[in-house]
Amino acid sequence: MRIGISCYPTFGGSGVVATELAMALATGGDEVHIISYALPSRLSMLCGNLDNSDLAPGPQLYSNLHFHQVGVTHYPLFEYPPYSLALATAMVEVARHQQLDLMHVHYAVPNAVSAVLARQIMAPAPLPVVTTLHGTDITLVGNDPNYLETTRFGIVESDAVTAVSDWLLKATRETFTVDKPIEVVPNFIDPARYERFADRPGARRWASQEERTLIHISNFRPVKRVLDVIETFHRVLQQLPCRLLLVGDGPDRAKVDKRCRELGICDSITFIGNLPLVEEVLVGGDLFLLPSDAESFGLSALEALACKVPVIGAAAGGLPEVVTHGETGFLLPVGDVDGMARAALELLTDKERHREFGERARQQALERFSQDVVVEQYREIYRGVLG
């Protein structure tokens, strides 16, 4: 198949899923064309700025994976350049000249609407549109009154729609009152990726010998509740020598700095910043913290599980579909930082239990979210829209 994939190129989960899917499809023999305003972070990391010679090749090394940059022209009249139109134009150009069979868009806003417009421009040539809903495109952005009607239109007009969890499927039905079929296709992991990192120092390179490592990865948006990470860590630190590794960056970073200074715990926290290869931090880590208000899925939690790192998080959104409470981690009510700290200490002070949780975490991640199974689910959907 010749597949167009449109996504955000930044460190968000939707762009990561789209890129991992593109690479898996290309590896399986499909021709894939990624369309975005910049090279996705997960692709740029594979272009060889690391000391690993055994990583997957970058885009230029897959003969059947191509990247097309959306050109957004600025003009003095525009206070806001119309990205949705530039994206639709790029989709038409790529579909026409690369003879795409279909367009798979990740994150409904504005990708779904741009794809539906591209399909209309292409007519009578067919260009089926598959839309994958990722989370905040439904719960935060898509349901904003300024975007709601166009987001609903993009969903309703798509030829097939997928959501990354049962929870997101229900949230979509409630928010947009749409009754069209929506299939749940979860996020996935490539087991081999984590094996390659297993014997690397990972989280240990930032910690002293006696320190246990707690890790959080996010874009530091309010929905992630990074301050809860700090509060939880502070409570654990009072009982055990440990270090917090913060991966990512975003709007709440300054609040986090301020709170660390107030608590006097800055010396025990390492800000790693944005890092495309999260396995470099996760392997060898002791716990992963994800206290978000509502994760539609929680890809970073799945990546932690795959690296044998148990998760302490919030029992909200789709996270309970990923983390099994009492088996691969603990899920507490949103904001219950005392409970999260207790759960963290429970695991950190019981070596055998911690080891069992870690082993089970990887086993469940591989059994339930394996790349091969999920990519085949997407292929089946593609075959469906192609008739």
Binding site for ligand GMT (CB under 6 A): 12-15, 17, 107, 134-136, 164, 187, 219, 221, 223, 292, 295-299
User: Least distance in Å: CB of 312 to ligand GMT?
Assistant: 16
**Which CB atom, from 9 or from 128, has the smaller least distance to ligand GMT?**
9
**Which CB atom, from 14 or from 172, has the smaller least distance to ligand GMT?**
14
How would DSSP label each residue in 48-68? Answer: S-SS-TTSPP-GGG-TTEEEE
User: Least distance in Å: CB of 170 to ligand GMT?
Assistant: 14
Give yes or no for a contact between 112 and 69, defined as CB atoms under 8 angstroms apart.
no
Phi, psi of 311 (to 5 degrees): -115, 135
**Which CB atom, from 325 or from 342, has the smaller least distance to ligand GMT?**
325
**Which CB atom, from 11 or from 206, has the smaller least distance to ligand GMT?**
11
Sign of CA dihedral 355, 360, 366, 249: negative
Residue position matching structure tokens 């339930």:
368
**Which CB atom, from 280 or from 295, has the smaller least distance to ligand GMT?**
295
In whole angstroms, how far apart are CA 9 and each of 127, 266, 369? 23, 31, 23
User: Least distance in Å: CB of 44 to ligand GMT?
Assistant: 16
Taking alpha carbons only, the member of 343, 363, 365 closest to residue 353 is 343
**Which CB atom, from 237 or from 291, has the smaller least distance to ligand GMT?**
291
User: Least distance in Å: CB of 207 to ligand GMT?
Assistant: 26
**Which CB atom, from 298 or from 320, has the smaller least distance to ligand GMT?**
298
Question: Going along 206-315, which residue ranges are E strands?
Answer: 212-217, 242-247, 269-273, 287-290, 311-314
* Degrees, nearest 5: CA angle 371-373-374: 65
User: Least distance in Å: CB of 140 to ligand GMT?
Assistant: 8
Q: Which helix (H) or strand (E) holds 13?
A: helix 13-27
Tokens of 374: 């999920």
User: Least distance in Å: CB of 244 to ligand GMT?
Assistant: 19
ω into residue 110 within 30 of 0, thus cis?
yes
User: Least distance in Å: CB of 13 to ligand GMT?
Assistant: 3
User: Least distance in Å: CB of 226 to ligand GMT?
Assistant: 12
In whole angstroms, how far apart are CA 146 and each of 4, 124, 241, 372? 28, 31, 48, 38
ω into residue 124 within 30 of 0, thus cis?
yes
**Which CB atom, from 236 or from 323, has the smaller least distance to ligand GMT?**
323
Give yes or no for a contact between 309 and 358, defined as CB atoms under 8 angstroms apart.
yes
